[in-house]
């Protein structure tokens, strides 16, 4: 399966299938990645033990010289300190203007390695090898970044990959919670643009949760295509792209108040999507949207309510830090039906407060 991400001035393919990594050399040659310049593989210490050495030897058999950098798994590696460490490896490894950075990992490695590629010698080539389901989201759109201690994703760039190689075999070792969290973003793409796909996710939820390659391949293909479609219409986030934030206003606030770690990002946005559907009901939309959204999320083993100890006041306060808040009103992505949403700019905070209460 191939999804073409077309951004007008340039485009790149996302290849999805089993066993792709064994042929990475052919993909590289077809995409003009030269064997004359060294490559750098960036990965984390959960992924490296299983997948790094075989990637290194496949590349070397195909005539590529490479250096590898293994960072600690987890969000803290998206920092300027680790960024500098990766840069050091790149310089010591002799990367030049024609070199390519390969991100072997989830969204953390993708964002970090992508930002290194965007900055090294003012920008070199970048290839994503996503190993999480969530990374289907980060592999489209070209956003790359590290965090500042005061704010997430604050230091970054737009840098599109040359290609994305999604090898389904690498997903088989994902822990179950990470699987469901990634599926939350997948069903989100259905909920915002394609009701049939959202319903397909529910009908095939047991295969998806069990990492069945056929179901996963199709789900990732649709998820990537929907995101690509939205991004290609709004590459720099001026309007339409905001719909990708369904569930994220409440979700980000829950992540912040719970302390990063209690909920995975995908889990928090699942609760946020349930919240947006509740809010839709309060704004006069059909209440069946909520019931259907919840049944989809639960079929994917995702939470739809939050822990009792999280206070509504704290969550509202966390949302106020969000730029989407203005004078008693908030901007929300509100489902109009399963498969379509609208951007509502003037949701009264009181309604949001009541909705959060109901999520407990």
Q: Is 173 annotated as a binding residue?
A: yes
Q: Is 349 annotated as a binding residue?
A: no
* Sole binder of ligand NAD in the list 68, 89, 128, 132 (CB under 6 A): 132
Give the pair of three-digit tokens for residue 90. Answer: 């790149």
- Active-site annotation holder among 162, 178, 185, 255: 185
Q: Is 32 annotated as a binding residue?
A: no
The footprint of ligand NAD on this chain (CB under 6 A) covers a number of residues equal to: 28
272 binds ligand NAD (CB under 6 A): no
- Active-site annotation holder among 29, 199, 241, 353: 241
**Closest residue (Cβ) to ligand NAD?**
107
178 binds ligand NAD (CB under 6 A): yes
* Sole binder of ligand NAD in the list 71, 108, 117, 271 (CB under 6 A): 108
Q: Is 171 annotated as a binding residue?
A: yes
95 binds ligand NAD (CB under 6 A): no
Which of the ranges 169-177, 196-204, 309-317, 327-335 carries the binding residues for ligand NAD, by CB under 6 A? 169-177
Q: Is 293 annotated as a binding residue?
A: no
* Sole binder of ligand NAD in the list 68, 115, 124, 137 (CB under 6 A): 137
Nearer to ligand NAD, 170 or 299 (CB): 170
Task: Specify whether 162 is catalytic.
Answer: no
Give the pair of three-digit tokens for residue 72. Answer: 């600690």
Contact 244, 215 (CB under 8 A): no
* Sole binder of ligand NAD in the list 55, 109, 163, 268 (CB under 6 A): 109
Site map (CB under 6 A) of ligand NAD, residues 42-81, x = contact: --x-xx-------------------------xxx--x---
* Sole binder of ligand NAD in the list 131, 245, 249, 276 (CB under 6 A): 131
Q: Is 249 annotated as a binding residue?
A: no
Q: How far is the CB of 185 from ligand NAD (least distance, A)?
A: 7
Give the pair of three-digit tokens for residue 130. Answer: 């996503």
Q: Please tell me the distance from the alpha carbon of residue 289 to that of residue 208, in angstroms, as a whole number.
A: 22
Q: Give the chain's largest Cα–Cα span.
A: 62
Task: Specify whether 285 is catalytic.
Answer: no
Task: Specify whether 227 is catalytic.
Answer: yes
Residues that bind ligand NAD (CB under 6 A): 44, 46-47, 73-75, 78, 105-109, 111, 131-132, 134-135, 137-138, 141, 143, 153, 170-171, 173-174, 178, 265
Residue positions annotated with a catalytic role: 122, 143, 185, 227, 237, 241, 245, 248, 252, 265
């Amino acid at each position: 399966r191939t999804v073409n991400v077309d951004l007008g001035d340039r485009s790149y393919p996302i290849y999805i299938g089993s066993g792709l990594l064994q042929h990475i050399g052919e993909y590289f040659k077809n995409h003009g990645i030269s064997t004359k310049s060294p490559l750098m593989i960036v990965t984390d210490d959960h992924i490296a033990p299983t997948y790094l050495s075989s990637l290194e030897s496949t590349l070397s058999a195909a005539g590529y010289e490479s250096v590898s950098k293994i960072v600690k798994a987890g969000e803290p590696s998206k920092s300027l300190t680790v960024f500098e460490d990766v840069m050091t490896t790149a310089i010591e490894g002799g990367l030049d203007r024609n070199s390519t950075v390969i991100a072997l990992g989830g969204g953390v490695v993708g964002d970090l390695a992508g930002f290194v590629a965007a900055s090294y010698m003012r920008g070199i080539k970048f290839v994503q090898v996503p190993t999480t389901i969530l990374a289907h989201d980060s592999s489209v759109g070209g956003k790359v970044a590290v965090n500042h201690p005061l704010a997430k994703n604050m230091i970054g760039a737009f840098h599109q990959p040359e290609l994305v190689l999604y090898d389904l075999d690498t997903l088989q070792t994902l822990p179950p919670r990470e699987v469901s969290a990634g599926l939350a973003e997948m069903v989100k793409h259905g909920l915002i643009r394609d009701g049939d796909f959202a319903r397909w996710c529910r009908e095939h939820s047991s295969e998806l949760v069990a990492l069945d390659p056929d179901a996963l391949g199709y789900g990732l293909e649709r998820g990537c295509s929907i995101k690509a479609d939205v991004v290609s219409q709004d590459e720099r986030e001026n309007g339409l792209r905001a719909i990708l934030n369904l569930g994220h206003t409440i979700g980000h606030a829950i992540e912040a108040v719970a302390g990063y770690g209690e909920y995975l990002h995908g889990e928090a946005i699942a609760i946020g999507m349930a919240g947006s559907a509740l809010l839709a009901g309060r704004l006069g939309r059909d209440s069946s949207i909520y019931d259907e959204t919840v049944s989809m999320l639960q079929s994917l083993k995702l939470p739809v309510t939050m822990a009792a100890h999280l206070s509504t006041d704290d969550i509202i306060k966390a949302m106020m830090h969000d730029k989407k808040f203005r004078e008693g009103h908030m901007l929300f992505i509100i489902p109009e039906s399963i498969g379509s949403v609208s951007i509502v700019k003037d949701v009264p905070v009181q309604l949001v407060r009541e909705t959060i209460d109901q999520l407990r």
